[in-house]
Amino acid sequence: MHEFNLIQKYFTWDNPPENVAMTVGDDAAIMDLPKNKQLVTSVDTLISGVHFPKETPAQAIGYKALAVSLSDLAAMGASPKWFTLALTLPEINQSWLEDFSQGLKKLAQEHQCFLVGGDTTKGPLSISIQVMGLVDSGKALLRSGAKSGDKLYVTGTLGDANAGLDYLLNNSQVLAPEARQYCQKRLNYPIPRLVESAAIKDLASSCIDLSDGLLQDLSHILSASSIGAKLDLSQLPLSLALRTLEDKNSLAYALAGGDDYELLFTTSKENESKLLSRIGDKVTCIGSIAKDIHGIIDKAGKQLESSGYNHFND
């Protein structure tokens, strides 16, 4: 199969939205931008054996490559619109491409994010997705807006993906088989929190998506906002799967495990009741922000170290 046919078959989608003036097929894509909106863009690369285990099903790879990019838009309070795909493949394997493009397209359609272009090359398997979205001008959620007295909230549950990865990579036996399955699903199919993002975007003072672990990502909000936080470890939201573990194991996954793709955000006390009435069942308060705290402490005042995933640290 020629590269041209591959692009035509798997990555040229029908019915582009009206705002796409040129999609896959020319030298570049063209999109119309509405007035009073800002373009928000982010790119993420997933490399086989680094960002996902080599055995990961193709459908999950396609899904996750887009999901992690959409998660960045969710963290900014932006609505996804378009994306491009740079794909490096070791070989042309049609059944792999079929599954990959299916996983990708299903999620893209769910969030009305249209594939407008890309690049296809030969080499070790790697997927880069650049996502583009829109936000009302001046209204993006940043890491830098947390204020003293704000409450700290998180969506979903923490640590599941890392528990799933620990089983796959290290054959960790702490999880029962059903719990393992659940955690692997959370690892392979993270849900970009776009619904929650839309609900909090006018209420949150700062926001980040959790890719490198709660402590590490919280520390980004804190340094961008020049402030500290107190975490209530007893309030960390844990799935039924993680609640079957000893506290020390579930806490390690929840505090330092990567790949959650939940939203971590702060909100003022005044906005809290509105937040809870909108999505109280989808968020958990895990602490508060205070200017007299250095870094992150627990309720007893003990300093918590952030030691999340770092690509250049072994």
Nearer to Mg ion (CB atom), residue 126 or residue 219: 126
**Per CB under 5 A, 119 contacts Mg ion:** yes
Residue with tokens 């995933």: 309
**Per CB under 6 A, 268 contacts ligand ADP:** no
- Give the nearest distance from C-beta 38 to ligand ADP in angstroms: 24
Please give the size of the binding site for ligand ADP, defined by CB under 6 A.
Answer: 13
Which of ligand ADP, Mg ion, none interacts with 286 (beta carbon under 5 to 8 A by kind)?
none
**Per CB under 6 A, 24 contacts ligand ADP:** yes
**Per CB under 6 A, 11 contacts ligand ADP:** yes
Q: How many residues does the chain have?
A: 314
Interface positions, 107-126, toward ligand ADP (CB under 6 A): 115, 117-120
- Give the nearest distance from C-beta 27 to Mg ion in angstroms: 8
Which of Mg ion, ligand ADP, none interacts with 80 (beta carbon under 5 to 8 A by kind)?
none
Buried b (16+ CB within 10 A) or exposed e, 286-305: bbbbeeebeebbeeeeeebe
Interface positions, 40-99, toward ligand ADP (CB under 6 A): 85, 87
Interface positions, 149-208, toward ligand ADP (CB under 6 A): none
* φ, ψ dihedrals at 276, nearest 5°: -65, -35
User: Which chain residues interact with Mg ion by CB under 5 A?
Assistant: 119
User: Which chain residues interact with ligand ADP by CB under 6 A?
Assistant: 7, 11, 24-27, 85, 87, 115, 117-120
